[in-house]
A and B are shown apart, each in its own frame.
Chain A
Amino acid sequence: MSSSSIANETTCAFTDSRPWTIRRVLTNQYFLYTVSLCFFFFGWDYLASHQAQDATTSIARPYEVLLAIQDLWDNELADYKLLGHVWMSTQRVVIGFVIAAVLAVPIGLFMALNRYVNAIVKPLFDLLKPMPPISWVSIAILWFGIEETSKVFIIIIGTFVPCLLNAYNGVRLVEPELYDVIRVLGGNRRDEILHVCFPASFPSIFAGLQISLNSAWTCVLAAELVCSRSGLGYIIVQGMNLADPAMVMSGMAIIAVLACGTSLLVTALERVLCPWKRKIAGL
């Protein structure tokens, strides 16, 4: 029997009305998701609870992490409860991300559409592109102090590059014959840009936004680790200072949840703005 084509696995799922046998349950993908997650948590718990006693306790058990989260929820840590810290971090990420996206996407589109803008901006961009945003932390503190501005600045630096790059590539990779189509239908250059460039580059722009969002969370963490009195990075640093692994891991877990949530929001926005994209099963 030949193996199933990859095409079958990526096109839309069908509703399966076969009878439920043991075999079908065992091979069902949600069952396997659950099994995989259970193994992960049990493994974690086992590892955490069977460490050598003289080694510094650096892994907390899952239950301890939950307790730490509850503790942060009820009690204040440096003037904020858990929700307050979450709000501080999220606020920084959202402000930085929005500013960077609003700047980067138009610049990227403009660069791709206008040779002169490209000639001026691209070399500067290529010079600054490879620098990791974290290397900007010290200089950001020197310039802006330890208040909010420096943190938002780092996030903007980190978010800017993938957004611009993807907007730029999105326009460059448009099928050139589609511009011929617009011309033949009676359009001019403005119509080419409005009716072909923009819609064609949306999927690429959204891919860039997803990558930038990931980068934004990394940058906020880095900024907060260095100089902050609030936020999830601060929770992690405090956990480290107090040698409390549960606190550290609780910070990590919450960042993961928040990053996942914001990513889902961007995906939902993409579903609304790009209804023509094929739906891939399981994605």
Chain B
Amino acid sequence: MATPTNPAIKIACDHVSKTFIQKGKQEVPVLEDVSVDVRENEFLVILGPGQCGKSTLLRIIAGLETPSEGTVTLNGKAVTGPGPDRGLVFQGYMLFPWKTVLGNVEMGPRLRGIGPEERRATAQKYIELVGLKGFENHYPHQLSGGMKQRVGIARVYANSPEVMLLDEPFGQLDAQTRIFMEQETSRIWQAERRTVLFVTNNIDEALYLGDRIVTMEGKLPGHVSKVYDVTLPRPREFTDMDFLNLRQEIIDASQLTL
């Protein structure tokens, strides 16, 4: 039972390790002994530089990869493969080019057999939530990067997953759009709270969005370095004193420029 001192754990990664075998025999250890807990309705950020295995960790939680060692559980049950209970927002957008924005967002409910009127209403609601009202009949090639990523987020939201996983979703956007998308993400999450696991390499993004930040070390194999609680009130300011102090603390501890 969840209590204020013992929040319900949504996802538990227990001593997860992953080794990839390349070219038949060469072993590449990507993750080593990673244990992360994600609590209900919290915004957890995994922060780390490139090539530290954080995307692999996310894919293991999503069920697209299997861990070499360790277990991942969702609500106590082991994760065996991908499914609609864990929605994944991809780094490269991955929209279906042959479907309109509405068609893309509708796809999740459609696969679950929900009727046309109901899924259209759901899709419409989430398209408006992400701020793309009026673009329902556009094709992906007519949208900008930020808009495509918003469609990706709406697509995952419309499927009502228990957990949302975001894999460096704003990595391909320019700085202005990126800050705008961070603000939008914060607004959307506060409007409809979900459990979110967000992977990024940008420390400002991590501090702006997260309730807790898990830092991972840079060298392969990746492992968890420290966990920080961020209790600043939302919406946060990038130039707030507490924000900057925490930022400095994280940078000092990680010995890398983030």
Contact = CB atoms under 8 A, between A and B. Distances in A.
Pairing of A with B: yes
Contacts of B140: 276
Interface stretch (A147-155, A176-184, A242-250, A260-268): A176-184
B84 A186 contact: yes
B139 A180 contact: no
Contacts of B92: 177
Contacts of B139: 275-276
Contacts of B94: 175, 177-178, 180-181
Contact of B84 (A180, A185, A196, A276): A185
B64 interface: yes
Nearest to A187: B111
Contacts of B88: 180-181, 184
A183 B107 CA distance: 11
B47 interface: no
A50 interface: no
B141 A186 contact: no
Interface residues of A, number: 21
Nearest to B155: A185
A32 interface: no
A46 B168 CA distance: 68
Contacts of A24: none
Contacts of B87: 184-185
Interface string A165-182: 000000000010110111
Interface in B75-109: 81-84, 86-88, 90, 92, 94, 96-99, 107-108
| A175, A187, A200: most-surrounded residue (chain B CB, <10 A) | A187
A175 to B, nearest CB: 8
Nearest to B59: A180
Interface of A: 175, 177-178, 180-187, 191, 195-196, 199-200, 202, 274-276, 278
Given A181-B88, A184-B88, A202-B98, 10 more contacts: A177-B94, A183-B81, A184-B63, A184-B84, A185-B155, A185-B159, A195-B111, A199-B96, A200-B98, A276-B141
